[in-house]
Structure formats: structure tokens, C-alpha cells
A and B are shown apart, each in its own frame.
Chain A
Amino acid sequence: MTPLEFVLICFVISIAAGFIGSLLGLGGGLIVIPALTLALKVDIRYAIGASIVSIIATSSGAAAAYVRERMTNLRVAMVLEVATTLGALTGGFLAGRLAVRWLFVVFGLVMACSAVMMLRKRHSAASDEGEGTPWANYLRLHGSYYDGALNKEVPYRVVRARLGLALMYVAGVMSGLLGIGSGVLKVPAMDLGMRLPIKVSSATSNFMIGVTAAASAGLYFARGDINPFIAGPVAAGILVGAMVGARVMGRLHHSLIRYVFVAVLLLVSVQMLLKGVRG
């Protein structure tokens, strides 16, 4: 393989990763890391460095469109970001002090259960009445977004903000501890916990993962993990893919996004279970 071929292959794979990542609120590391290490024989350190960049690229590439269409709930993102970053700090602190192996099994199972729960049908545009939502009211977290598939503005109410915060803290701990992408944990927490519409969950997760990854990217850069020859084409491809993905997402039907996300979630949970069982 010549360097030119390498760059072109990286670019094409990354377009796909950016497209899928921006639709689902994931970082693209799920695709980028195995593609780089297994198919292109890149050193794992550089693959992880490129994956950190890919998270930021997915997030930033999609963000302009999501802000414009009001997919991202900035207020929810900021409130939850407090819990996630504190959780990630805790996870980093606990790393090396806990037997991680069984956590992989436990979390693999938790994620499989969330996947099944996410499949159950529910009224997509969250219940308007009913549950009291003191925190969400106080923080004014409720919102609305424009859904291109339904061709109308969809208002939604956020419920159980405290549960959402607790889940986000746990998600942060787990991603700090297990080194797994936190998007796969954030989207279910917003979807199942706070009953956000799936598109809003995904776009909000997209924003949050970018902010969190940016905080650690400087460190990876200084450590020499971000190799421009690898991270460059990956970033370029991801940006293009994410910009396209974010434009398409508004027009896709929300249950399609849900089904694809559930499939990815199951895949990741199987991976985690295997990791835990094999030790």
C-alpha cells in the first residue's frame, strides 16, 4: 500500500464513520479504531489518537446543522455535562484500583437490557401531562425541535432530570474506567431516563462527547499520540461525513434511528461481554 492509497482509504472509511456517528450521537471510534488497526495495520496508540480527533470532528462537523435545526438541547447538555465530567474524573481515579473484568460483564448486560428497553414502543413525543418535573421546570430544560420527516415542530418535555444526572454520572465513571466511548451510554440515559426524543438525545450526546474529548485531546497531542498523517485524513473524512449526516438526520424517521442505534448498542454489549468473560 502506498501512502496515497492509505490516505484515500482512511478518508473513505472516515466519511462512513462520521456519517453514522453523527446520526447516532457516537464518536466514530467504534469504526475508526478497528479499521485502522486491523485493516490498515496502524499502531494502536496512533489509532486511539486518531479516534479522539474523530470524536471531536464528528461532534463539530454535525454541530452547525444541529444548532440550526435546534436538535441539540444546549441546556440539557450543560447540566448533564457537569455529571459526566465529574464521573469521568472519578473513573480515571478508580482506574487500576478495581477489577475491571467483571465490570465489563455487568455493563455488557446493562447495555443489552437498555437495548431491549429502547426497542419497546413508546409515545415518541413524550407525555405532555402527568409526571411532575420540578427540576426540569426549574432549569427550563423542555424544548422543541424541527422534525424534517414529520415536517413539523415537535415540542417535548424533559422528565426525571435527577435520574438523568445520576445515569450520566455512572456513564462518565464507566467511560473513564473502561475506556469505552460514552455516546453508547449517554444516548440510552437520555432516551430511557429523561424521555428525550431520539433525535434530540443523539444530537445532544454529539455535542457532549465533543466537549469531553476536546478536554483530553491536548494531552494526547502532547504525548505524541496524534499522528498528523493518520489523524489528518481521518479528521477530514469524518468532518465531511458528519456534515452530510447531520443534514440527513432531520429527514430520517425517528424509529429508523432508534433501530440502528439499538443494533449498535447490542454489538457493543456483546463485545464487552466477550472482553469480560475472556478476561
Chain B
Amino acid sequence: MASNGSGAASPSAPQEDHRVVRVEIVISWVLRVGVVTSLAIVVAGLVLVFVHHPDYLSSSAGMQKLIQPGAVFPNTLSSVSQGVLHTRGEAIIAIGLLLLILTPVTRVAVSILAFLYQRDHLFTFITLTVLIILLMSFVIGRIE
């Protein structure tokens, strides 16, 4: 990077900068791989849905049961993996969506490692706290 505006100049600044840049490259790479893979899987799943149901291409008869309450689709890890074994489109899409959901969580986890690598103990602690609160909220199940 040409310049760095992070005001506080410390004796180890050049080395720190170097580490920050390397970390940014890793994080950006993790994100791109996660996003592109999940996008590809979702699209493949959508294509499969239409391969299994050619009538979906031209007939509107099946529409209501796809988008109204009571629609049938996998929503547990076991039903997703069952569906994947039978190459069901919905299950493949679900895999792509789950991968997408994991991307931000992975990013926070990678950030913890990154702050450790930068020997920034305060931010390692702060980021760990965020991860713990997130997991807590997941358990309590009440977060927007």
C-alpha cells in the first residue's frame, strides 16, 4: 500500500503495516472463495430443480406449493445431506446457502487469528468477545 493513515506511529510500524496488508489479502481471498463457491452451488442447484421438473419451465400449476406455507424443502442437516445424495436441487441450493451463511462467521474467526498474528491482544480479545456474543445470541435465538 502506498500510504497508511493510521495515525499512531510506533517503532515497529513498517513491519506492522506489512502484516496488516498480508492479513487483508488473506481475508479478501477467503471472502472471494466463499462467495463465488456458494454462488456457483446455488446456481447449479437451481438448474437441477428445473432438470428434475421440466414442467416448471412452462406450466404454472406447481407454483403455489413452492412459495406458500407448507412448501416441502430440506431444513435440517440430515435432510439436506439426504437430498444431496439424491442430487435434489433444493438440497444443493441449501448447501450453497449454508456456505454463504458461514462466510461472515469464518471472517470473524479469521480476524481473530489475524489480530493474534499482529500481536494485537486488545483486538484479539474484542473480536473473541464478538464471536462469543454471536454464539450466545444463536443459542438464545433472539437477535435481529
Contacts and interface: CB of A to CB of B under 8 A. Distances in A.
B7 interface: yes
For the residues of A in contact with B, the DSSP-based class is helix
A35 interface: no
Interface string B37-57: 011001101100110010011
A82 B110 CA distance: 17
A176 interface: yes
A93 to B, nearest CB: 7
Interface in A71-122: 74-75, 78-79, 81-82, 85-86, 88-89, 91-93, 95
Interface string B12-44: 000000000000100110011011001100110
Nearest to B92: A228
A214 B130 contact: no
A232 B41 CA distance: 10
A215 B142 CA distance: 10
A211 B27 contact: no
A232 B129 contact: no
Given A40-B67, A182-B144, A229-B73, A67 B137 contact: no
Contacts of B104: 56, 59-60, 207, 210-211, 213-214
B142 to A, nearest CB: 3
Given A216-B137, A216-B138, A229-B90, A3 B56 contact: yes
Contacts of B2: 153
B11 interface: no
B68 A43 contact: yes
B142 A92 contact: yes
Interface of B: 1-8, 24, 27-28, 31-32, 34-35, 38-39, 42-43, 45-46, 49-50, 53, 56-60, 62-63, 66-69, 71, 73-76, 89-91, 93-94, 96-98, 100-105, 107-108, 111, 122-123, 126-127, 129-130, 133-138, 140-144
Interface of A: 1-4, 6-7, 40-43, 45-46, 53, 56-57, 59-61, 63-64, 67-68, 70, 74-75, 78-79, 81-82, 85-86, 88-89, 91-93, 95, 137, 139-140, 142-144, 153-157, 175-176, 179-180, 182, 207, 210-219, 221-224, 226-233, 235-236, 239-240, 243
Sorted nearest first, the 9 A-B pairs with minimum C-beta distance are A144-B5, A92-B142, A155-B5, A228-B93, A3-B56, A232-B93, A215-B134, A175-B144, A214-B104
